[in-house]
């Protein structure tokens, strides 16, 4: 059996702060009981209750006291172990709770990170869509502007071409007109189909004195032409001449066309061959015809010359 002091030391080695108060109270009570019993039976004849002295002089307590101390130590140890186990379990539970809390925190962080990433992605997609829409709008506007500019350029080109064509046509027409005017005869006969009847200088019952012109007989309504370029200076009724027109030519010569049924022109400039009126029988006549007089100086009857000779001098053959 272990020595009593060693057991006491073992009992003392237990950390008292780990022993519940009830266990401490029980140990104290057992100690008091053991002390009383030891005093009561210390001088008794019972050898098992007496303290023993070994051959070396070591003193040992009675066996009952040792058992009580062992029981108290066992209770204290058990209580300490239970408390340690309880504290360990609580620590493990707290550790598990901390781990769970950390996991929950990490999960929350991941969830928040995912939500933030999703929001950023959505914002980026929205921004990209807006940028792409703006680019499409700019491209459409640019294409529309280019198309409008192309249409404008085409219209301007077409207008320029049309103006150039018009100018060329006008130039061509003017050239053709000039060429035609150049080719056109400077002088023509007053009628294209006729019969000469009264001659210049004739006299008789049909004239008051002598005949001052040349008569071109034709059907009523036959066109009468200006014999040359000039300006109409008179158009109207002239007594014996009936409906008559006078034209002054560039050299000052005046030609008179009498007995017209009606006028085609009454004023303005005329060219050789222009229709100025129509054959008739107005005034002092015996039938429809055109009376042509030529006055070189634009004077009266005294200035009149033979139209037949004058026309011949112009290269014509009446």
What's the pLDDT band for 269 if we cut at 50, 70, 90? very high
Asked if residue 263 belongs to a domain, the reply is yes
Joined together, the tokens standing for residue 180 give: 């035609």
Top pLDDT among 270 and 53 is at 270
Asked if residue 136 belongs to a domain, the reply is no
CB 288 within 8 A of CB 259: yes
SS3 111: helix
SS3 155: helix
- In the predicted structure, residue 259 carries a pLDDT above the cut 70: yes
Domain final residue pick, 51, 83, 102: 102
Q: Give pLDDT, residue 36.
A: 53
Q: Are residues 98 and 199 in the same domain?
A: no
Asked if residue 153 belongs to a domain, the reply is no
Domain final residue pick, 47, 73, 102: 102
Asked if residue 284 belongs to a domain, the reply is yes
Q: Are residues 200 and 306 in the same domain?
A: yes
What value does the mean pLDDT take over residues 286-297? 96
Give the CATH number of the domain where residue 289 resides.
2.70.70.10
- In the predicted structure, residue 27 carries a pLDDT above the cut 90: no
Asked if residue 129 belongs to a domain, the reply is no
Q: Are residues 199 and 98 in the same domain?
A: no
| Residue ranges in the chain assigned as alpha helix (H) | 4-13, 21-40, 63-183, 307-313
- List C-alpha distances in Å: 98 to 89, 108, 113: 14, 15, 22
* Residues counted in the chain: 318
Asked if residue 161 belongs to a domain, the reply is no
- In the predicted structure, residue 316 carries a pLDDT above the cut 60: yes
User: Whole domain around residue 268: which residue ranges?
Assistant: 195-313
Asked if residue 155 belongs to a domain, the reply is no
SS3 12: helix
Structurally, how many domains does the chain consist of?
Answer: 2
Q: What is the pLDDT of residues 132-191, one digit of tens each?
A: 999 999 999 999 999 999 999 999 999 999 999 999 999 999 888 778 777 778 999 999
Domain final residue pick, 62, 86, 102: 102
Asked if residue 23 belongs to a domain, the reply is yes
Q: Give pLDDT, residue 4.
A: 58
- In the predicted structure, residue 195 carries a pLDDT above the cut 70: yes
Q: What is the pTM of this model?
A: 0.47
Nearest to 188 by CA among 151, 223, 139: 223
Mean pLDDT of the chain: 85
Q: How many CA atoms lie within 13 A of 233 on its CB side?
A: 13
Residue for token pair 């018009």: 166
What's the pLDDT band for 39 if we cut at 50, 70, 90? low
Task: Count the neighbouring beta carbons within 10 Å of the beta carbon of residue 22.
Answer: 10
Q: Give pLDDT, residue 183.
A: 77
């Amino acid at each position: 059996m272990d020595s009593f002091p060693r057991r006491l030391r073992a009992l003392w080695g237990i950390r008292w702060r780990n022993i519940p108060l009830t266990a401490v109270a029980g140990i104290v009570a057992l100690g008091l009981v053991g002390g009383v019993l030891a005093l009561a039976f210390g001088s008794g004849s019972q050898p098992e209750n007496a303290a023993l002295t070994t051959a070396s002089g070591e003193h040992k307590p009675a066996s009952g006291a040792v058992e009580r101390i062992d029981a108290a130590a066992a209770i204290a140890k058990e209580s300490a172990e239970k408390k340690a186990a309880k504290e360990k379990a609580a620590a493990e539970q707290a550790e598990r709770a901390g781990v769970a809390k950390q996991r929950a925190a990490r999960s929350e962080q991941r969830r928040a990170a995912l939500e933030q990433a999703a929001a950023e992605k959505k914002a980026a997609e929205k921004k990209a869509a807006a940028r792409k829409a703006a680019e499409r709008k700019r491209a459409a506007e640019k294409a529309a502007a280019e198309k409008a500019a192309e249409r404008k350029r085409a219209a301007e080109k077409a207008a320029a071409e049309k103006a150039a064509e018009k100018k060329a046509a006008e130039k061509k027409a003017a050239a053709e007109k000039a060429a035609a005017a150049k080719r056109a005869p400077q002088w023509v006969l007053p009628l294209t189909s006729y019969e000469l009847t009264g001659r210049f200088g004739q006299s008789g019952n049909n004239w008051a004195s002598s005949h001052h012109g040349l008569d071109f007989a034709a059907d009523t309504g036959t066109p009468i032409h200006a014999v040359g370029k000039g300006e109409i200076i008179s158009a109207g009724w002239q007594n014996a001449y009936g409906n008559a027109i006078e034209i002054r030519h560039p050299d000052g010569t005046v030609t008179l066309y009498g007995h017209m049924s009606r006028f085609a022109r009454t004023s303005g400039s005329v060219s050789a061959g222009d229709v100025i009126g129509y054959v008739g029988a107005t005034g002092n006549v015996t039938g429809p015809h055109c009376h042509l007089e030529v006055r070189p100086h634009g004077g009266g009857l005294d200035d009149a010359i033979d139209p037949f000779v004058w026309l011949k001098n112009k290269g014509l053959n009446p």
